[in-house]
Amino acid sequence: MHMADALISPVVGGIMWATSAGAASYSIKKIKLDLDEKKIPLMGVMGAFVFAAQMINFTIPGTGSSGHIGGGILLAILLGPYAGFLTMASVLAIQALFFADGGLLALGSNIFNLGFYTCFIAYPLIYKSIIKKGITKKRIFVGSLLASVIGLQLGSFSVVLQTFFSGITELPLLSFLLLMQPIHLAIGLIEGLITAAVVTFVWSARPEILEPINSKIRSKNMSYKKLIAVLLCSAVLIGSMLSWYASSNPDGLEWAIENITGNAELESSENLHTTLESFQEKISFLPDYSLKTKVEVESNTPVDVGTSVSGLIGGLLTLFLAISIGLVIKLFKNKRLKEN
């Protein structure tokens, strides 16, 4: 559901950039007040995990479409809404800058659509409401499923509205809406199952890691090392190997556009779009998660060197960016405490 610049006008793009920047600033402010420093490495590892997981498009049967997890609900559950939002922003920024996945003008929209609705609406209003009486496998399953579906439905609806108010495409509002919502309902259901499985595993391995619902007590002796190791190994495996088996079908957004226009990708002749596209081509050293120069590998398996390199480098860059954000926040927090 990564929007391309061709869907967004400069005005709408600017507004969404400002809105997402405001949400990020608010998240930083909130984290400064209650930063669990042990979660800083987890921010990086979860960012790398979500980056890798988003590389795997799964087929939606009977539609000719595919989808991938957004990851916002998963990040909010394991990191809290504020750190989760910042980590999601890190993932999307790395994807846009170095892999040409999502437009630069549309980056604010993508962060808002995939991060804001999940971390600040679906997570607190749906997931936390369901598990407030206590965490169980059943409540994790129901909460993850419903929160994922609601979050993605709100995000896909937001894509339609942002495209409509931009007014630079010929996508009819009603037709676009009637295609976007059902296909992302199916994608949301699958994401909910994946999210529930990961959260259940984490809860079984380290129940204390989930954000406290009824208590603010945190164990000083709690260690995330083993869990981080497992998640990091999973991110490497997913990004470097399992990503070979991603569906080649267009994702939900591309599928909806193609069904209306006959083409999955739209082109724009606006000067700003052309300038940003040219800039993005220069800095994206692994466009579309592949090498600019193809490498042929003789194998009985669908080995894709470009995809593997993209998964490893992208995960590493996301890990570095998310951890850096956490460390900078920690630095300012400690400086503030010394001044007081």
User: pLDDT digit string (tens) for 66-122?
Assistant: 999 999 999 999 999 999 999 999 999 999 999 999 999 999 999 999 999 999 999
Lowest mean pLDDT among 66-80, 254-268, 289-303: 289-303
- What total of structural domains would you count in the chain? 1
Q: What is the pLDDT of residue 38?
A: 79
Q: What is the CATH number of the domain that holds 205?
A: 1.10.1760.20
Can you tell me the distance from the alpha carbon of 216 to that of 196, in angstroms, rounded to the nearest whole number? Answer: 24
- At residue 66, what are phi and psi to the nearest 5 degrees? -140, 170
Q: Which residue blocks in the chain are alpha helix, DSSP H?
A: 10-33, 40-54, 72-79, 81-99, 107-111, 128-131, 137-166, 173-205, 225-240, 252-261, 271-283, 305-339
Q: For the chain, what is the largest distance between any 2 Cα atoms, rounded to a whole number of angstroms? A: 64
Q: What is the pLDDT of residue 289?
A: 92
Can you tell me the distance from the alpha carbon of 130 to that of 148, in angstroms, rounded to the nearest whole number? Answer: 13
Kindly write down the DSSP assignment for every residue of 111-152, as one continuous string: HIIIIIIIIIIIIIIIIHHHHTT---HHHHHHHHHHHHHHHH
Token pair, residue 173, equals: 């509002």
Axis crossing angle, helix 72-79 with helix 173-205, rounded to the nearest 10? 30
Q: What is the pLDDT of residue 265?
A: 84
Lowest mean pLDDT among 26-35, 78-87, 142-151, 198-207: 26-35
Model confidence at 338, pLDDT cuts 50, 70, 90, reads confident
Please provide the average confidence, as pLDDT, over all residues in the chain. Answer: 91
Task: Name the residue among 78, 81, 45, 36 with its Cα closest to residue 210.
Answer: 78
Cβ-based burial of 92 (10 A; exposed 0-12, middle 13-18, buried ≥19)? buried
Q: What is the pLDDT of residue 45?
A: 96
Please state the rounded mean pLDDT for residues 278-295: 86
Please state the rounded mean pLDDT for residues 19-44: 90
Please state the rounded mean pLDDT for residues 11-30: 96
330 vs 70, more confident:
70
Residue 31 has pLDDT above 70, yes or no: yes
Token pair, residue 12, equals: 């709408």
Q: What is the pLDDT of residue 222?
A: 61
Task: Name the residue among 207, 239, 262 with its Cα closest to residue 78.
Answer: 207
Task: Identify the residue whose tokens are 């967004």.
Answer: 8
Residue 221 has pLDDT above 60, yes or no: no
Give the number of other Cβ atoms within 10 Å of residue 33's Cβ: 9
Q: What is the pLDDT of residue 296?
A: 61
Residue 142 has pLDDT above 60, yes or no: yes
Task: Name the residue among 50, 207, 71 with its Cα closest to residue 137.
Answer: 207
Structural domain range at position 209: 5-339
Q: What is the pLDDT of residue 267?
A: 82
Please state the rounded mean pLDDT for residues 262-280: 86
Residue 214 has pLDDT above 70, yes or no: no
Residue 268 has pLDDT above 80, yes or no: no
Task: Name the residue among 248, 311, 261 with its Cα closest to residue 66.
Answer: 248
Please state the rounded mean pLDDT for residues 52-72: 95
Q: Full-prediction pTM beyond 0.85?
A: yes
Q: What is the pLDDT of residue 213?
A: 42
In this structure, what DSSP letter does residue 1 have?
A: -
Token pair, residue 58, equals: 């799964």
Q: Are 94 and 278 in contact (CB under 8 A)?
A: no
C-alpha distances (whole Å) from 180 to each of 29, 32, 115, 185, 320 are: 34, 37, 18, 9, 34
In this structure, what DSSP letter does residue 215 have?
A: -
Rg value, the chain, Cα: 20
